[in-house]
Structure 1
Amino acid sequence: MLDGLDAAERMYEALTLALDVPAPDPDLATGKLQVYLTATAVADAPLGTRAFWSDIDRASAFVRVPRGLSRGCTLDTAMAEGLSLAAARRSAPAMDDATREGMARTLAQLAAGCPDGQRLAEAQAFASHPEVSWMTGFAAADGPSGAVYNHASTGFFQWLDRHYGAAPGRLLRMVWAFAPTKTPADSLRWVNEPDAFDVLGESLKDVRFTGSKLEDVLVDYAVDRAFMGRGDPRFVDAEAPAPTIDWSIPWPEKARRLLSGRPIAQHGVSYVLVDHRGAPKGSRLRLEAEWEYEARIRWVCVKLDENFREKARISVGTPERATEAQMSLANLDDTAQILLVGVNLGDPKFPYDPDEIVAEPHAWLLSLQAE
């Protein structure tokens, strides 16, 4: 009990003072934030009371943390996660579960300052299935060993905060502040408009290059995931093991046609590795990709050195509603390997909405030949 109280006080101060996270609203009846050590499997923050007096959506929550956690990193991380979820209930109670949990876990990692075993196990499962959407994860009874896995969004929000936040956690707090929702008092469910991705879509315009959009940031994340856990000093992250490579082939002197081993869901990604070592000098690689209708798959070619370090990345031009793309990749003499990255950005007819049911995954066909 005393360990839990100590962890609650320290993580509350780390979140609200060091990271400037809005303090969770207390219980209206007691005027205190209630924290319980219970038999729950993971930390959470169930909804308490909606603040009908507020002009924008706002609510209180109570925190539940698994009892019996050992003092130190495990307990601190769980407590910080519960408190972060409670803070999200205050600032953005209409937010969808995947976004709320991903952001809260990112803030919890910053507050606690250390990884926990559960997060490491989930990161391993996530790396083994890059084709899965990081917003939905595995549905019940799917995925390895039938595990329910729905925290994959944490990896994305950690990456986003590191790359585009002016200070740790600031980008996530900005999303909460810039996405106030106003749900009618008689509504049976929260109205999550604008949602977090509406805010990110506006905030990250032109951040990559003039005219770039949020989808360009999502493609960058898909490419960067390939380097996590491989010793690249930019992406060393013990919590993000190297993802599974779908195909690894020698230099295609004769034409090769590769079918996606597993179809990719929206935000999911496939990796194809082509070995260029030993190829004739001046050789080029011809790439022709096709994919199913109602999906937009963006392809990126990444030139690698002998140590799997990135030398250059080239995006394959793809019209908005195309189902195919082609490119001839040249200037490969100092390139050891070529990584082809295909990321599914979803149905081009509909903008992404985290509250909508994500469409089924889609397959691709890749034709490769040396020139």
Structure 2
Amino acid sequence: MHAAASRPSLWHAALLTVALATTRPAAAHAPVTAEAGADAAAATDVATNDAGVQAVDPWEQGASALPVVPLTRGSVVACSTRGHPLCVRGPRGSEARVLGALRAADEAWAIATGALRLPRPGTPLETGTFEVELVDGLGGEAQVVLVERDPLASFDRATAGGRVDASLDGCARDAAVSRAIFEAIALGTAPATSEGLRASTGEHLTRLTLPCAIALLDDTATFQALPSRALFRSGESALERRAARGAAAFFDWADSRFGREPGGLVRATWALAATKTAHDAARLSWNPDLIDVVETSFRGVLSVNSTLDDLFLRFAASRLTFGSNADEATLLTSRAWGDAGKIALDLSVDWPLVPRRFLSPRPLEPTGVSFVRVGRQGAAKGSRLRVEAEWEEHARLRWMAFKLDGSGRVLQSVLVPAVPRATSAQVTVTELDGAQAVVLMAMNAGDHARPFDPDDAVLEPHGYLLTIANE
């Protein structure tokens, strides 16, 4: 309804301005204007000089508290006609794309500050306007960069600007713009939040507010194809960034299972993750961060004395059923993901007529998981599966076993017990006559001396040795 109501005024503004502004608008609600003659030539020079400037995300390799290069000044600008302090810039000839991005940004802004009750993105003191810029060469992605810290706020606050790949169109563009808006809000309220967590929470909120985003499955497929990776870990490559956005599945799952209202879990964690840093510090304080808030909030919630490990373990178990086999106990909405929601198996082996031993195919980062499928073909009636696992002394591995039917649905799950600081675990899985397969899952819960923190520059992986036998 909002988009339909705003379209006439938006296009009237476009028709009244054949050439859009090359200079910064005086206010967020200022109409699109045109420059001519010498001003246009000067703007061309500025755009040319700035075209080679590549701003660097300050949160790479630790959160810098210093501002980055200001946003590139494009030659086309359009500002909100709905009263939001918001403008979109783009290269000459991109008027239609700029207006399309503005419509998406306006809608995301309205939902974020309205239905989701989130604070609006911070705006620089110089302009009072949040800017989204359409630029080439971003590989179909969106970026959010720090513009300045708030020198007056009691807690860490920051303003940001967004960049979106100019080649995007349709739902992909709308989703990228929405992610930029939500990540800018995260950067404004909790600027010490790691890049991976910003990407995950931004993607989660985008899925909530943009219906077509559920059909953009590349991030989800990448996340499920790389189960051994740590949750919320980002990186330099496009693959790593897609996996970080795909980790939004954790917030999708947690919000559906424990949230009081859509988006409430993320809103609460952002509010409670405020940090304080000296104004002359080069890096922001990392504590508390979102993971600290989640750990405290979920302590004892799942069961008596349950911890963050138990929450991650339950989520890891739910990942096995994402996609077509999802139900109310896992994440029902993931059925829309179809095959993209299927988890990648590390091993798939036949029933062990003789004992078999395997080394983990790849090491597991903290919160990373490994799945081993054991088929029941050839197993005798009444047979049982003996499972013995071993791992390094300073690692913490948690194990579960799942009985699956012929369609891949989970019939029953079994938690493999292990005492604190154990380096091995054993279990015998019984009553398998109605099952078509057994899936064994290992999760790295991190080191004893260093609990999982996505802000860590190095996340140490660990492996395991698995023995299975027929009983």
Q: TM-score, normalised by structure 2?
A: 0.73
Residues 15-70 of structure 1: CA distance to partner in whole angstroms, max 9, x if unpaired? 21122221112221222222222225121221122112111111111222222422
Q: 1:280 aligns with which of 359, 370, 380?
A: 380
1:56 aligns with 2:143: no
* Residue aligned with 1:53, SS: coil
Residue of structure 1 in register with 2:467 after alignment? 367
After TM superposition, give the deviation of residue 99 of structure 1 in Å: 0.8
- Residues 62-211 of structure 1: pairs in structure 2 closer than 5 A: 62-70=161-169, 72-115=170-213, 120-136=217-233, 140=237, 150-211=244-305
* TM-aligned CA distance change 1:148 to 1:216, over 3 Å: closer
After TM superposition, give the deviation of residue 150 of structure 1 in Å: 4.5
Distance 1:173 1:142 in 2: 27
1:31 aligns with 2:128: yes
Distance 1:167 1:142 in 2: 31
* Paired residue type of 1:355: D
Unaligned runs of 5+ residues in structure 1 are none
Distance 2:236 2:168 in 1: 27
* Residue aligned with 1:62, SS: strand
Distance 2:235 2:161 in 1: 27
Residue of structure 2 in register with 1:342 after alignment? 442
Mapped contact 1:15–1:80 kept (Cα < 8 A)? no
Residue of structure 2 in register with 1:267 after alignment? 367
* TM-aligned CA distance change 1:11 to 1:341, over 3 Å: same
Residue of structure 1 in register with 2:358 after alignment? 258
After TM superposition, give the deviation of residue 139 of structure 1 in Å: 6.0
Residues 171-221 of structure 1: CA distance to partner in whole angstroms, max 9, x if unpaired? 001100111111111211111111111100011122222221111111111
Residues 265-323 of structure 1: CA distance to partner in whole angstroms, max 9, x if unpaired? 21111111112355333322111001123321111011122221112211111223221
Mapped contact 1:138–1:149 kept (Cα < 8 A)? no
Mapped contact 2:200–2:244 kept (Cα < 8 A)? no
* Paired residue type of 1:47: L
* Residue aligned with 2:419, SS: coil
* Paired residue type of 2:178: A
1:229 aligns with 2:327: no
Mapped contact 1:139–1:150 kept (Cα < 8 A)? no
Over aligned residue pairs, what C-alpha RMSD do you find?
2.3
* Residue aligned with 2:301, SS: coil
* Paired residue type of 1:190: L
Structure 1 residue runs of 4+, over 3 Å off?
Answer: 137-143, 147-152, 230-235
* Residue aligned with 2:202, SS: helix
Structure of higher RCO (CA pairs closer than 8 Å, 6+ residues apart): 1
Mapped contact 1:134–1:152 kept (Cα < 8 A)? no
* Paired residue type of 2:347: W
Residue of structure 1 in register with 2:59 after alignment? none
Residues 333-370 of structure 1: CA distance to partner in whole angstroms, max 9, x if unpaired? 32222111111111122222222233332221111112
Mapped contact 1:228–1:237 kept (Cα < 8 A)? no
Residues 103-161 of structure 1: CA distance to partner in whole angstroms, max 9, x if unpaired? 111112222222278x5223323332222223325665998xxx985434323233222
Residue of structure 1 in register with 2:430 after alignment? 330
Q: TM-score, normalised by structure 1?
A: 0.91
